[in-house]
Amino acid sequence: MSSSVLGSRRMASTIANSLSFKLGVPLRLHPHPTHTSASLGFTTFRRSYVVSSSAFANQNREYVIVGGGNAAGYAARTFVENGMADGRLAIVSKEAYAPYERPALTKAYLFPLDKKPARLPGFHTCVGSGGERQTPDWYKEKGIEMFYEDPVTNIDIEKQTLTTDSGKLLKYGSLIIATGCTASRLPEKIGGNLPGVHYIRDVADADALISSLEKAQKVVIVGGGYIGMEVAAAATGWKLDTTIIFPENHLMSRLFTPSLARRYEEFYKENGVKFLKGNSLKNIEAGSNGRVTHVKLEDGSSIEADAVIVGIGAKPAVGPFERVGLDSSVGGIQVDGLFRTSVPGIFAVGDVAAFPLKIYNRIARVEHVDHARRSAQHCIKALLTAQTHTYDYLPSFYSRVFEYEGSPRKIWWQFYGDNVGETVEVGNFDPKIATFWIDSGKLKGVLVESGSPEEFQLLPNIARSQPIVDKAKLQNASSVEEALAIVGSSL
């Protein structure tokens, strides 16, 4: 498409939008193309002008983002980059803070208090991708209206109106749902809500955990995924007696191979973390003051604990948007490759969106920050410009632990692609290890621990190209460097 066509479409939309605000009504010309009946079975429509009813005692906003997390921060930046934020965009958030880089909460935020822990405003979006730090003042300067601590509780799709917890009515032209996930909780009847039992999703949760850690001596971590691994590493920094329990046979069972997990587990054990694997929690018990004292396991054993941190997964925060259309296989709000839901003018991005994962031809929901950033940017570009190419995401996950000052060793792994097929492990954990997933002769996924910046940069190219590799040659590689050179030569 020529740039003049792009330019004229953008201008048409800008004129319509600025007119609408002069007139005080949301007059919207949709700059993005007509919805097509694509793979998700969306109906064809063209939504042209929306004029508010004067009967509404509410305020009109052209663009509203619901949710003030990672995706919202990157979406706001894209609005600004396209000159469409000032006076046009509102963000409605449940939290008291401007969007921030959520992964920090179980990493530098939990550093021991004498080891320079991260605090806001240090990690507001979009610092995680090297962008400008979007503090509350940034939003003011850019003319973006922020509603803090006022979650959306209801939507009237026909009237394009949101109701917030405090009773505000907000009329939107286009709506972007970026509500993320909520942490899965243990049932109340087994002690899931006792004082001293923690879940971590936001700053308030992390602050509550820190005040528990300050008084704690013995902590039990329930769950062997990202949150469990990261909090256990943090607890070693606080020199706490730390036990991690999970029902699977090894850490990070959805991604790591047993062999790779064993390397990490050994490192954690060397640093004092105790593992109770293949074991499920029965209930959590409290003392006479009502606070947690013990964790009871299904095998009848009991572990003392004055703080319990639960990391057993998360659920997409779809309420109150169920009517927009949910995906039955992966949960979340169903969208197409431009993040359009089945309702015209409503979009969903980030953790909450169930989108077509083009590269593997399946519908997916991805709860990782890289996708939150990219999906938000892709959606807003498609909404504001004539960009029509569909999202083509390459799954990528990472974690960083033991990064506090004076830690025994910093650990940082990155994964790209799909963890399917047979695996080849190369290298030693110290200094560096890699796992390659090979399916039908093609290299589908790669994980590297402690890679150099150049090595990490190579990983997305490898995973996207899916080169045919000589498995025997890879198995004989004596180092990660040699293995990456072998794979690199097949690209």
CB 237 within 8 A of CB 111: yes
Spatial separation of the C-alpha atoms in residues 65 and 71, rounded to whole Å: 10
Identify which of residues 205 and 455 has a Cβ nearer to ligand FAD in the complex: 205
For residue 79, which of 341, 380, 326 has the smallest C-alpha distance?
A: 380
In which element (H, E) is residue 18 found?
A: helix 3-23
Residue whose C-beta lies closest to ligand FAD:
69
Spatial separation of the C-alpha atoms in residues 304 and 193, rounded to whole Å: 17
Q: Tell me which stretch binds ligand FAD (CB under 6 A): 198-206, 293-301, 418-426, 430-438.
A: 198-206
Task: Please give the order of strands across the beta sheet that includes 197-199.
Answer: 197-199, 307-310, 218-222, 241-246, 274-277
Number of H helices, E strands in the chain: 10, 25
The only residue of 69, 223, 337, 344 in contact with ligand FAD, by rule CB under 6 A: 69
Binding mask 99-138 for ligand FAD (x = CB under 6 A): ---xx-xx--------------------------------
Query: Do the strands 197-199 and 307-310 form a parallel or antiparallel pair, or are they unpaired?
Result: parallel
Q: Tell me which stretch binds ligand FAD (CB under 6 A): 188-196, 265-273, 345-353, 404-412.
A: 345-353
Amino acid code (one letter) for 197:
V
Shortest distance, position 118 Cβ to ligand FAD, whole Å: 12
Shortest distance, position 371 Cβ to ligand FAD, whole Å: 7
Told to check if 71 binds ligand FAD by CB under 6 A, we report: yes
Shortest distance, position 97 Cβ to ligand FAD, whole Å: 8
Q: Tell me which stretch binds ligand FAD (CB under 6 A): 12-20, 49-57, 89-97, 421-429.
A: 89-97
For residue 194, which of 210, 180, 208, 214 has the smallest C-alpha distance?
A: 208
Shortest distance, position 155 Cβ to ligand FAD, whole Å: 10
Told to check if 223 binds ligand FAD by CB under 6 A, we report: no
DSSP label at 259?
H
The only residue of 372, 447, 448, 487 in contact with ligand FAD, by rule CB under 6 A: 372
Told to check if 13 binds ligand FAD by CB under 6 A, we report: no
Q: Tell me which stretch binds ligand FAD (CB under 6 A): 45-53, 125-133, 367-375, 465-473.
A: 367-375
Angle of helix 70-81 relative to helix 369-384, nearest 10 degrees, comes to 30
Shortest distance, position 303 Cβ to ligand FAD, whole Å: 23
The only residue of 26, 31, 67, 451 in contact with ligand FAD, by rule CB under 6 A: 67
CB 164 within 8 A of CB 153: yes
Report CA 388 to chain centroid distance, whole Å.
24
Q: How far apart are the first and last CA of the chain?
A: 30
Told to check if 252 binds ligand FAD by CB under 6 A, we report: no
* 52: three-class secondary structure by DSSP: coil
Q: Which residues of 275-301 are buried (b: 16+ CB within 10 A; e: fewer)?
A: bbbeeebbbbeeeeeebbbbbbbeeee
For residue 436, which of 428, 447, 451, 427 has the smallest C-alpha distance?
A: 447
Shortest distance, position 427 Cβ to ligand FAD, whole Å: 22
Q: Tell me which stretch binds ligand FAD (CB under 6 A): 60-68, 328-336, 378-386, 448-456.
A: 60-68
The only residue of 142, 296, 315, 368 in contact with ligand FAD, by rule CB under 6 A: 368
Query: Do the strands 169-177 and 346-348 form a parallel or antiparallel pair, or are they unpaired?
Result: parallel
Told to check if 161 binds ligand FAD by CB under 6 A, we report: no
Told to check if 66 binds ligand FAD by CB under 6 A, we report: yes
Binding mask 269-308 for ligand FAD (x = CB under 6 A): ----------------------------------------
Size of the site for ligand FAD (CB under 6 A): 38
Site for ligand FAD in 399-428 (CB under 6 A): 399
The only residue of 25, 27, 40, 92 in contact with ligand FAD, by rule CB under 6 A: 92
The only residue of 265, 306, 327, 351 in contact with ligand FAD, by rule CB under 6 A: 351
Q: Tell me which stretch binds ligand FAD (CB under 6 A): 67-75, 217-225, 434-442, 464-472.
A: 67-75
The only residue of 20, 25, 64, 68 in contact with ligand FAD, by rule CB under 6 A: 68
Q: Tell me which stretch binds ligand FAD (CB under 6 A): 38-46, 271-279, 299-307, 392-400.
A: 392-400
For residue 232, which of 181, 275, 279 has the smallest C-alpha distance?
A: 275
Told to check if 398 binds ligand FAD by CB under 6 A, we report: yes
Shortest distance, position 214 Cβ to ligand FAD, whole Å: 19
Shortest distance, position 154 Cβ to ligand FAD, whole Å: 9
**Any long-range contacts for 150-158 (C-beta under 8 Å, 24+ apart)?**
150/92, 150/93, 150/94, 151/92, 151/93, 151/94, 152/66, 152/92, 152/320, 153/320, 154/320, 155/320, 155/321, 155/323, 155/324, 157/323, 157/324, 157/343, 157/346
Strand partners, 438: 422, 443
Q: Which residues make up the interface to ligand FAD (CB under 6 A)? A: 66-72, 92-95, 102-103, 105-106, 151-152, 178-181, 200-202, 226-227, 317, 350-352, 367-370, 372, 397-399
